Amino acid sequence: MAERILFLTGRLAEKQLHRVLDSMQPTEFGYKVQQIGISVAALMTAQLIERRVPDPMGADRIMVPGRCRGDLEKLAARYRVPVVRGPDDLKDLPEYFGRGGKPPDLGKYDVRIFAEIVDAPTLDIPGILERARAYQGDGADVIDLGCLPDTPFPKLEKAVAALKAEGFSVSVDSADADELRRGGKAGADFLLSLDEKTVALADEVPAVPVLIPSTPGDLDSLDRAIKVMRAKKKPFLADPILDPIHFGFTDSLVRYHELRRRHPDAGILMGLGNLTELTGADTVGITATLMGVASELAIRNMLVVQVSPHARRAVKELDVARRIMYRAREDDALPIGHSEALLCLHDRKPFSYSPAEVAELAAQIRDPSFRIQISTDGIHIFNRDGSHKGVDPFALFPLLGLEDDGAHAFYIGVELARAQTAWQLGKAYSQDEELDWGVAADKVRKEESKDDYQAAGHTLAVKKNRAAAKRGKKSRAGKRKAKR
C-alpha cells in the first residue's frame, strides 16, 4: 500500500503546494494538504501544529514547511507517525522526493591539503599553534611551516615539536637545505622541496620529500630526482610547479599532464598560491577549476596559502572543492548540483517566483505585515494596503509609511538592503534569512532557538511589542485611576 503523506501549510502557500504536487504526478505516495489557518507557512511552529492538528488524518507521515520551528520529535510521539521538515522552497519538493536524485554524500575525498603558514619565523609558538588550529578547522590535513629567505628560524625545531605534540602532520617549506634538514630531524613528515642536487638529504631524515625541477620548467631534472628516489625505494611527492598567468601558467599545466603520463603511479603535489594569490579574481572559482584539473590527473596533494586578504578562505574553499570533485568523479558526473557552497556570488536558481506569481501572492494578502520578494523585474514589497516594486530601497521606503515606527523601519531597511543585493547579484532571497554566501563567509548569526521568532524588528515581533505596549499603557492608566 502506498505511503500517505499529510502536508501542512499556510493560506498563502496552499495553492502553490497543490500545483507543485499535481505537477509531480504520478507519485509513489498519496497525499493530503491541510491548511492550518496561518498566513505564512514559514512561521508555523510545533506548538501551533499541536493546537490546530488534532490527529494525523490517516497519514503515515506528516511533512511541515522547511522553516517550521519546534521539536518535531515531540510531535511525532504525539501523532505516532514521523513528522519531518520539507525543503525551504516549495519548488524544491520534486528534488526532495528524488526527482532530482538523492542528496550527494560529500563526506569523502582523496586529496590531502597542505596549508602553509608563510610567515612562521615571525610568529611565536602559540601564534603558530593558533594558526594551525584555524587551518585544521577549515579542512587542512598538513600544516606547512613556511621559512623565509634570509630570515633566521631559531625556533623551527620547537615549532615542529609543538605541532606534533598536538597531533598535527607537519611539513617544512624552505629553499635552504639546512633548514629542511633541521625540520626533518625534528620530526617533520614532509620536506618542501628537494631537487636532483639536494635529493641526498632524503637519506638523512625519515620525512617524505617533495621533489621539484632544479631549474624552472625543467621536467627532465625532476625525472632524474624521481629515479633516484625510486632506486632507493623511498616515498616521495613530485611537484613540477604551477606558474602564474602570463609567466608560464599554460606550460606549467602541460607539465603536470606530462608528469602524470610519465609516472602514472607517482604521488603529485600542486601548489595553488601562484594562481589564487597572484590573480585579481575571486579565489573560489580558481580553486574549483584547479581542483578539477587535480581530479582528472589524480593529483592527491594540494598546497594552499592565505596571504592576500582576498584569498583568506583558500583552505576552506579547497576543502569543499575536493569533496565535490571526488563525488562527481565517483558518480561519473559533471561537478554541478552537488553543493551550492562554491556558488558564493550567484545562485543557479535566484528567482523562485515569476513577476506574475508575486502579483498573485500579493493579491491574497489581508494583513498589514510587509512581505518582500525578488523576481526578474526587481524587488517587490507588499501588504494589504498595496504593492510596490523597484530596485532601489531608498525609492521604495518613502512609500511604506514607516516614518514613525523606528523598529519596523529598521527591520524593513535591513530586508530591503538584502533584497537589493540579492537581486543585483542574482542570489536567492528569503525574507528573515541571511543571504547565503556559501563558503565565502561565516554565518552572521548563531543558530537560534527554533521555537522563537527572530526578535529584531520581525513583523510579527513588532506587532507583539505594540500589543504589549498597549496592554502596559492600559494597565498603568487603570492603576492611576485606582489611586485617584
Instruction: Write down which residue in 263, 296, 330 finishes a domain.
Output: 330
| C-alpha–C-alpha distance, residues 454 and 442, integer Å | 19
Flag whether 339 is in a domain: no
| C-alpha–C-alpha distance, residues 110 and 149, integer Å | 33
Flag whether 61 is in a domain: yes
Look up the domain containing 238 and give its range.
112-330
Flag whether 105 is in a domain: no
Flag whether 245 is in a domain: yes
On the 0-12 / 13-18 / 19+ scale of CB atoms within 10 A, 360 is middle
| C-alpha–C-alpha distance, residues 193 and 222, integer Å | 11
Residue 452: what pLDDT? 38
State the angle between helix axes of 459-483 and 406-425 in degrees (0 to 180), rounded to the nearest 10: 180
Residue 467: what pLDDT? 53
**Which whole-number Å values give the CA distances from 484 to 310, 474, 477, in the listed order?**
68, 15, 11
Question: Is the domain of 256 the same as that of 383?
Answer: no
Residue 444: what pLDDT? 60
Flag whether 289 is in a domain: yes
Closest among 361, 284, 305, 267 to 148, alpha carbons compared: 305
Residue 458: what pLDDT? 44
| C-alpha–C-alpha distance, residues 428 and 92, integer Å | 13
In tens digits, the chain (484 residues) has pLDDT values of: 789 999 999 888 898 899 889 988 888 899 999 999 888 777 788 888 999 999 999 999 999 998 888 889 999 999 999 999 998 888 788 888 876 545 678 999 999 999 999 999 999 999 999 999 999 999 999 999 999 999 999 999 999 999 999 999 999 999 999 999 999 999 999 999 999 999 999 999 999 999 999 999 999 999 999 999 999 999 999 999 999 999 999 999 999 999 999 999 999 999 999 999 999 999 999 999 999 999 999 999 999 999 999 999 999 999 999 999 999 999 888 998 888 899 999 998 899 888 988 888 888 888 898 999 999 999 999 999 999 999 999 999 999 999 999 999 999 999 999 999 999 999 999 888 899 999 998 866 544 433 333 444 444 444 445 555 555 555 555 545 454 4
Flag whether 447 is in a domain: yes
Residue 88: what pLDDT? 82
Question: Is the domain of 295 the same as that of 408?
Answer: no
What's the gap between Cα 128 and its chain centre? 26
Contacts of 371 (CB under 8 A, 6+ apart): 40, 361, 362, 365, 381, 382, 383, 431
Give the SS3 label for residue 11.
Answer: helix
Cell numbers 620548467 label which residue? 217
Question: Is the domain of 86 the same as that of 116?
Answer: no
- Contact 209/193 with Cβ under 8 angstroms? yes
Residue 472: what pLDDT? 55
Residue 15 is part of a domain; what is its CATH number?
Answer: 3.40.50
| C-alpha–C-alpha distance, residues 267 and 247, integer Å | 25
**Which whole-number Å values give the CA distances from 111 to 55, 129, 297, 365, in the listed order?**
50, 23, 12, 52
Q: pTM here?
A: 0.79
Torsion of CA 342, 344, 349, 352, to 10 degrees: 140
- Contact 381/372 with Cβ under 8 angstroms? yes
| C-alpha–C-alpha distance, residues 374 and 351, integer Å | 7
Angle (nearest 5°) at CA 307 between 305 and 313 = 65
Sign of CA dihedral 203, 209, 211, 215: negative
| C-alpha–C-alpha distance, residues 87 and 83, integer Å | 13
Question: Is the domain of 172 the same as that of 250?
Answer: yes
Instruction: Write down which residue in 66, 96, 126 finishes a domain.
Output: 96
| Cell numbers standing for residue 371 | 512581505
Question: Is the domain of 249 the same as that of 138?
Answer: yes
Question: Is the domain of 64 the same as that of 121?
Answer: no
Flag whether 45 is in a domain: yes
| C-alpha–C-alpha distance, residues 11 and 364, integer Å | 9
Question: Is the domain of 169 the same as that of 88?
Answer: no
- What is the pairing mode between strands 3-9 and 169-173? unpaired
Domain count, the chain: 3
Question: Is the domain of 138 the same as that of 245?
Answer: yes
Residue 44: what pLDDT? 86
| Cell numbers standing for residue 95 | 528534488
C-beta atoms surrounding 226 within 10 Å: 19
**Which whole-number Å values give the CA distances from 356 to 22, 39, 359, 427, 484, in the listed order?**
20, 20, 5, 19, 60
Flag whether 102 is in a domain: no
| C-alpha–C-alpha distance, residues 5 and 17, integer Å | 13
| C-alpha–C-alpha distance, residues 156 and 143, integer Å | 13
Question: Is the domain of 278 the same as that of 392?
Answer: no
Residue 309 is part of a domain; what is its CATH number?
Answer: 3.20.20.20
Question: Is the domain of 309 the same as that of 359?
Answer: no
Which residue type, as a one-letter code, is found at position 328?
A
Question: Is the domain of 384 the same as that of 412?
Answer: yes
Instruction: Write down which residue in 96, 124, 140 finishes a domain.
Output: 96
Angle (nearest 5°) at CA 458 between 453 and 459 = 115
- Contact 306/315 with Cβ under 8 angstroms? yes
Residue 459: what pLDDT? 45
Question: Is the domain of 138 the same as that of 17?
Answer: no
